[in-house]
Chain A
Amino acid sequence: MAATVIHAYYDDDDVLMHAVKKVKAEKHHIEEVYCPFPVHGLDKAMGLAPTRIAITSFMYGCLGLIVSIVMMKYIMIDDWPMDIGGKPSFSYIENMPAFVPIMFELTVFFAAHLMVITFYLRSRLWPFKKAENPDVRTTDAHFIMEIEVHNNESELKDLLLDTGAVELNIIKNSH
């Protein structure tokens, strides 16, 4: 079954914020909000769950640290322990200060890159991806709030006009 959605256009982020709060208070489900820039506090107003990307980053960092330790322990201590300029290669701990720069960099490398890739995967971003914005104006000056219609079109329209929407569009077969 094709869903019908209503697109409410706003031209000011303060008005949008108030509209979101009001629509939430009326117990309507907001499908999506399209903004040309981040609106501070919008996620809270919409009731979105906080991101867990920082936690993934921490775990990736731990992975990077382990990779660097295992790598250098194997190469420098276990596989071919050589005397290079008098550095003690009898055990990992003895030569550890020399490994710290690499341990640090690999931790940061893994934490940063894997987190970015996680972000791309979770937000479905890749080259040649078809842009999803419903109206080109949302990249410049307009905000769109998308709400699904369940046989309550006129009631929703009244509510949205009341919140200061500058334009309303009904989109049939949106998905």
Chain B
Amino acid sequence: MYTFSNRLKIASFILMAVGVLGIGIGFVSAPATVEEAKAMVAAHDDGHGDSHGEEASHAMASDHGGASDHNSDHDEHLLHQLQNRPWAALYVAAFFFFMIALGVLAFYGIQRASQAGWSPLLFRVMEGITAYLVPGGIIVFVILVLSVLHFNHMFTWMDADVVAHDKLLQNKAGYLNPTFFLIRAAIFLGGWIGYREISRRLSIAQDNADDNSNFKKNFRFSAAFLVFYLISESIMSWDWIMSVDPHWFSTLFGWYVFASMIVSGITVIAMVTIYLKSKGYLPDVNDSHIHDLAKFMFGFSIFWTYLWFGQFMLIWYANIPEEVTYFVTRIEDYNLPFFGMVAMNFVFPLLLLMNSDYKRVNWFVIMTGIVLLAGHYLDIFNMIMPATVGDQWYIGVPEIGAILFFSGAFIFWVFRALTHAPLQPSRNPFIEESRHFHY
């Protein structure tokens, strides 16, 4: 059995406390009126003061509302962007850590359904990480509910005034309406958490059983879950992420979000495994297990890049105005994060994890993992921020505060869940193979 080390527990509390402070500062310092917003921009005007916003406002109501005075519309727009910033910072971090747990759940489902022989030794680690689905999912859901209740302006289609002046959004209202949106979110979260709880229970029951019926049931649930996950993940990505840009659409978006999700998930599995092994809790895990996880990190990083580039190049090449605005805003206002994340998520793991020997060096895997996680945070950042805060983005106190808070919550919840069951399953039919796994 694993015991939650006190130092780690205290570290997670400190992260959460500092994070709450940062989030609080973000909310307190957000402007309440147009005048405050203008003063804020004027105060730290670093060259993108006057010309900003014109192009970035593509998705906003003012383009379609017409008529009214442009200047006051513009100021209103600026105010909303600045007010969105702490919310978007919170949402990006909340989704990012939730996404890690969901990615691990998908990977876990795949390992069970494919009856992989190498991974059963890591099942408890994966189950520990997916425990974060419950609090993480609830937090994301609460943020979505607050958005529906108009506490923020992250999702423009939730604003009835905007929809009233926007033909495109009216046509999408059959799908993009607050009630249906929340019902979908609840069904998806219920399905994911439900599978996680059932699978965890069967996994632990298998340890004390005298036949393999629990294992077989778990196999069936996992196969069914993967079908559900494929559909729900895709729709979730349209709802929770793509709909912040409600005028834009992309067909492979669901896959793209999935790739980001699974690569972060596998990275976290590798990091937690290496940590637990270094503390002597996973005596049977060997270099080959780490090697396999690193191979998955490497492979899915390239898969992510393939989808990123596939989405980017198709839109860049055809250059259809209604689609290309998405990348125009990102390249103009988010140049460094947009291209920086490609270096972090592709070039870095490509060069560091290509060598077979490096994949067995634990600190190499950890180092690559840290860069990958930062890169995939930036990926989510690049998906949400341009539509919510536009060119008013900055990675400052609210963003870092939210990351710290959720990383603290993640560490606390995951390692607490790891104490609940033995770290190595004892009666899994593949456990012997996994113990002697050697690549």
Contact = CB atoms under 8 A, between A and B. Distances in A.
Contacts of B313: 97-98, 100
B354 A86 contact: no
Given A54-B356, A58-B354, A86 B309 contact: no
Interface in B302-357: 309, 312-313, 316-317, 319, 354, 356
B27 to A, nearest CB: 40
Interface in B152-199: none
Nearest to A87: B317
A42 to B, nearest CB: 15
A100 B317 CA distance: 12
Contacts of A97: 309, 312-313, 316-317
A86 B312 contact: no
Interface string A127-158: 00000000000000000000000000000000
A contact patch SS: helix
Interface in A56-106: 58, 86, 97-98, 100
Interface residues of A, number: 6
Given A97-B312, A100-B309, A86 B356 contact: no
A100 B319 CA distance: 17
Contacts of A54: 356
A100 B313 CA distance: 9
B356 to A, nearest CB: 7
B319 A86 contact: yes
B233 to A, nearest CB: 27
A171 to B, nearest CB: 37
Contacts of A58: 354
A86 B317 CA distance: 10
A14 to B, nearest CB: 16
Interface of B: 309, 312-313, 316-317, 319, 354, 356
Given A86-B319, A97-B316, A97-B317, 7 more contacts: A54-B356, A58-B354, A97-B309, A98-B313, A98-B317, A100-B309, A100-B313
Interface of A: 54, 58, 86, 97-98, 100
12 contacts: A54-B356, A58-B354, A86-B319, A97-B309, A97-B312, A97-B313, A97-B316, A97-B317, A98-B313, A98-B317, A100-B309, A100-B313
The 10 A-B pairs of least Cβ separation, nearest first, read A97-B313, A97-B316, A98-B317, A100-B309, A100-B313, A97-B317, A97-B312, A58-B354, A86-B319, A54-B356
